[in-house]
Structure formats: structure tokens, C-alpha cells
Amino acid sequence: MTARQARIERWTGMGFVTPALLLFLATSILPLAVLLALSFTDYELGAVDTRNVGTANYARAVTDPTFRRSLGNTLLYVAIVVPGSVGLGLLVAVLVHGRRLSRGFYEVIYFLPVTSTLIAMATVWQFVLHPRLGPVNAVLRSIGVGEVPFLSEPSLALPTLAVIGIWQLLGFNMVLFLAGLSAIPKDLYEAAAVDGCATGLDRFLTITWPLLTPTTLFVVVTTSITAFKVFDTVAVMTRGGPMGSSEVLLYNVYLEGFQYFHMGYAAALTLLFLAALLAVSAVQRLVLERRTHY
């Protein structure tokens, strides 16, 4: 290849990359830079002027009881949703994968919540869980349990939202696990049967589970990111209540920025949220990567 041809290929490659690079800079890097700059100011939405306050916003967040409570609620939500949606997604995928005629039907049924608008579904869930009008409490009353205030009891509000989060993520995780199951060669199961793996549990533990670890790593990380970003159900169903028991990080950021107009402080909270998300994802990858078989 001549020097002229090399230059042409290099500039052609740069021509293909440049639009995507400019789009990435405009939609990701630039907003992040503006967010970082705002986090060191006392800017309020609509204010004419602002001043630099250094790290005061970050110091305020450390001592802010509302931020600490929302962080704890978010971690609790993630601790319920991630194992619940990943475990149930794997279980449903294994059960559906073995079906032939009805597999497509079950895939559609479980994947429907993923395609639905979460705001609309949150409104439906609000009716379903209503203490007097909802069908869930109607069933509980019929069997003598009585009404359960799922959304108005502080100890029940966040776990109820977590169950809805599991319901919403179950279908997506199932599809990912089905893709991983389809990539496992059937010859391995036949060889395992010859070697004495007679039961389905033995085949799952010796073949399916080890070969699904790359898929599991991806599912756990993506599910954790989605769980950390919970906002819609909180905003529609509880608005952070009762008594702040369901107030999560993103809802706290929304309140500070667009209800109280403290944009500088909201920017600092957003960066802390991103840092926490990055840290959790990195720890998960380090821990799970050691047990992953490619």
C-alpha cells in the first residue's frame, strides 16, 4: 500500500467516525461538563447571576439527611430488584426454553411489560393496589386478611415499588437469558447424559449455569443500572412518601432542581449519583468477572 492510499484510508475512516464522535460529544460529554461546572455554583433556575461556591454543594450533600435517606432507599430498592429480577428471569427463561409450541406465547406475555409505558402502567398499578377499589385488596378481604395499605404504609411502600420493578424487568432479563441458553451446544447435554448427569438439576449446575455466566454478568450490570435509575413509579405512585420512605436519589434530584430550583445542588447530587452507579457497576464486574467462563 502506498503512502497516498494509506492517507486516503485514514481520512476516509475519520470521515465515518467524525459524525458519531460529534454526536457523542454533544449529547454526553458537553452536558456532563456543564453539569460539573454547575455543581460548583449556587445557580438557581431562572436566576440572572450566580457565584462560585466551590465544594459547598458536595459538603451539603454529605450532611443532608434527605440525601442520605434517599441513598439508603435506592440501595434497598436495588438490593431487592436485582436478585429478584435476575433470578426470576433465569428461572422463567429455563422453563420457557424447553417448550416448543407455546414458547412464542410465553415470550410475548412476559415481554409485554417491557414494551409498555411505565408511567401508564404505574397508574394501573396504583388502581390495582388501591385499599378500597383495587382487586388485590378485594381478594385479601375475601380471604379474611383485610385491607393492606401497600402505598400508604412506610414499611410497605418501597418493597411494593420494588416488586413492580421486578415485574417490569423480568421479561427483558428472560429474553437475554433465552439468547444465552440458545447459544449452548446441545452436544454438551448429550455428553453429560452419557457421563451420568441424569437429572435436569445436574445438567443445569454442570453445564447451563457455568456457560451462562457471561450473560449473567451482563444482565446483573444492566439490571443494576436500571434499578438505580428508578423514578417513574415513585413520581406517579408515592411521590417519595409516605414520610420519605420511598424517596430515591433521582426523585430527590428532581425535587431539588425542578421543585425547589436549586440547580447547583441538584447538579452535585446528579454527579454523586453517577459516581455511586459507576462504583457499584465496577464492583459487580470485578466480583463476577472472576467467576465468568468465556
Task: Give yes or no for residue 31 having a pLDDT over 80.
Answer: yes
pLDDT tens digits, 188-230: 777 777 777 767 777 788 888 888 888 888 899 899 999 999 9
Where does the pLDDT of residue 117 fall: very low under 50, low under 70, confident under 90, or very high at 90 and above?
A: confident
Among the residues of 64-153, which ranges form H helices?
65-97, 103-115, 118-128, 135-142
Provide the CATH number for the domain formed by 63-289 in this structure.
Answer: 1.10.3720.10
Residue (of 122, 120, 89) closest to 106 by Cα position: 89
d(CA 147, CA 221): 37
- All structural domains of the chain with their residue ranges: 63-289
Q: How many residues are recorded in the chain?
A: 294
Four-CA torsion 69, 75, 79, 82, nearest 10 degrees: 130
The CA angle 248-252-253, to the nearest 5 degrees, is: 120
Q: Mean pLDDT, the chain, as a whole number?
A: 87
Count CA atoms within 13 Å of residue 205 on its CB side: 6
pLDDT tens digits, 135-150: 998 988 888 888 888 9
Give pTM, 2 decimals: 0.88
Strand partners, 241: none
C-alpha cell recorded at residue 35: 453539569
d(CA 281, CA 287): 10
Counting beta carbons within 10 angstroms of the beta carbon of residue 252, is it exposed (0 to 12), middle (13 to 18) or buried (19 or more)? buried
User: Percent of the chain scored above 90 by pLDDT?
Assistant: 40
